[in-house]
Every structure is written in C-alpha cells, then in structure tokens.
Structure 1
Amino acid sequence: MDEFNPCLDCGICCTHFRISFYWAEADDAPGGFVPAEMTEKLNHTLRCMKGSNQVPRRCSALSGEVGRQVARSIYENRPTPCREFPVYFEDGTPNPKCDELRATIGLPPLPQSPLPRAA
C-alpha cells in the first residue's frame, strides 16, 4: 500500500520560500548533491534554487500544477531546507505553517498522521 504523501498534491512551499542553502551542497563542490545548474549564487557561502529568489517564486525543481499534482525533479538530491521542512512533526501532528500555506490555495488542513514518524 502506498504511503500518504500530501506533498504530491500541494507544492505550495516550493512557491513560497526562497530556498537557500550552503554552497557546498551543490554538485560542483566535492560531495555536493544538488544539481548546480538549478541553483544561483547568493553570496560567498550561500546559493538558492533558481526561481525561488524572485517574486513570483517557483523552484526550478518543481513540476506539475500546484494544488493538484506536483513532483520534485530532484527529490533525492534536494537541498537541506527541503529535507528539513516537516509536513508532520515527530508526534504525528501537522505542521501549522504547512496548513497555513495549503489554505492559501484552497487545500484543506492536513489530517493527524496515523502513525508517528520514524526517527
């Protein structure tokens, strides 16, 4: 059975935040993993995902229609801020910021997670 993933019908966070991260996460640095061609330099220590540094925002890795069906073309190689933004907290409660963003595009609040997240 497929695990419920509310992010696949939302994607609003990819159009709301500037997705900035340490420059060495990009794959043109030793050990980096984020495709460098999808990033832009902010300063000597930070980069961001292209499309997330101007308004209207839309991360260059986001495909599909926000609020209906979306995907991240670099999901396995996404930067740290994307990995660390919790849809659900460890106790299974929805992130209120996620619910707030979902409301801006007419999506309902997230249900309580049936199982707490694994550590």
Structure 2
Amino acid sequence: MEDPNPCISCGICCTHFRISFYWAEADDAPGGFVPAGMTEKLNHTMRCMKGSNEVPRRCSALSGKVGEQVACTIYENRPTPCREFPVYFEDGSPNPKCDELRATIGLPPLPRSPLPNAPLPQAA
C-alpha cells in the first residue's frame, strides 16, 4: 500500500526554498517552538532554517536521502512555512510546485488525493 504522505519519499522542498519565518517562532523567544540552534538571523524580524539560506540548499532539520526516504527531525516544531506549504489543495488536486520540484529529481507527479476535503499532508 502506498504511504498517504508522499513527503517521506521526496523532501525536495526542503532543499529548494529558503525557509524564512518571523523570529519569535524560535524557542529562544517566549512561546517560540522552532529550535533556535537550527536557525540563523536574516534581519531584526526574520530568521531562516540553517542550510536553507545558501546554495546548494538543504534545511538543517532534514534527514535522509532526498527522493528516497526523508524525515524532518523537528516535525512537531517546524516553522510556519513548512506547516503551510500544501502538498494537496482542498479539492484534492496536487500542488503544481510539488510536481515541478519532484520532476527535477526524477519522481513522478503526485496523484489526485483519494480523499478530497480530508485532512491533507503538509510538507515534511
């Protein structure tokens, strides 16, 4: 049976985007949750995940081999951009950006979600 979350065999988004977010999401701010040691300062209001602000990019929280088996080592404490990047849209259609990035590493396009309007996986 195919895993319902295609992110665990992909991870390309974690090597493509600069993952920037409001500084107070880091755990050295009151109420923050992203491990500050895995971030770097961009300016007085923004941080990014280490490894995502340089080329080649690879988020410091990504483990495993992209395109085969990956995991986010801080999944429960990942920043907002990672939480909000949709693999599938509400109508069950795949995010075209995912398909575009997957193609760069030889992965097939995502199928339509079998469960439209169900909770959908977010990027790893």
Q: Aligned partner of 2:11: which letter?
A: G
Q: Aligned partner of 1:76: which letter?
A: E
- Work out the CA distance in 2 between the residues paired with 1:50 and 1:3: 29
Q: Aligned partner of 2:67: which letter?
A: G
Any runs of at least 4 consecutive aligned residues in structure 1 with deviations exceeding 4 A, and if so which?
A: none
| Corresponding residue number in structure 1 for 2:96 | 96
Q: Percent identity?
A: 87
- Work out the CA distance in 2 between the residues paired with 1:2 and 1:75: 21
> 1:61 aligned to 2:61?
yes
Q: Aligned partner of 2:100: which letter?
A: E
- Work out the CA distance in 1 between the residues paired with 2:22 and 2:55: 22
- Work out the CA distance in 1 between the residues paired with 2:99 and 2:2: 22
| Corresponding residue number in structure 1 for 2:12 | 12
TM-score normalised by the chain length of structure 1: 0.96
> 1:83 aligned to 2:83?
yes
- Work out the CA distance in 2 between the residues paired with 1:109 and 1:43: 36
Q: Is there any run of 5+ residues in structure 1 with no aligned partner, and where?
A: none
- RMSD value over aligned CA atoms? 1.4
Aligned length: 119
> 1:27 aligned to 2:56?
no
Specify the SS of the correspondent of 1:98.
Answer: helix
TM-score normalised by the chain length of structure 2: 0.92
Q: Once the two structures are superposed, what CA deviation does each residue of 1:20-47 show, in whole Å capped at 9, x if it has no partner?
A: 0000000000000000000000000000
- Alpha-carbon distance change, 38 to 112 in structure 1, aligned in 2, over 3 angstroms: same
- Alpha-carbon distance change, 117 to 76 in structure 1, aligned in 2, over 3 angstroms: farther
Q: Aligned partner of 2:25: which letter?
A: E
Q: Aligned partner of 2:28: which letter?
A: D
Q: Aligned partner of 1:27: which letter?
A: D
> 1:42 aligned to 2:15?
no
- Work out the CA distance in 2 between the residues paired with 1:2 and 1:66: 18
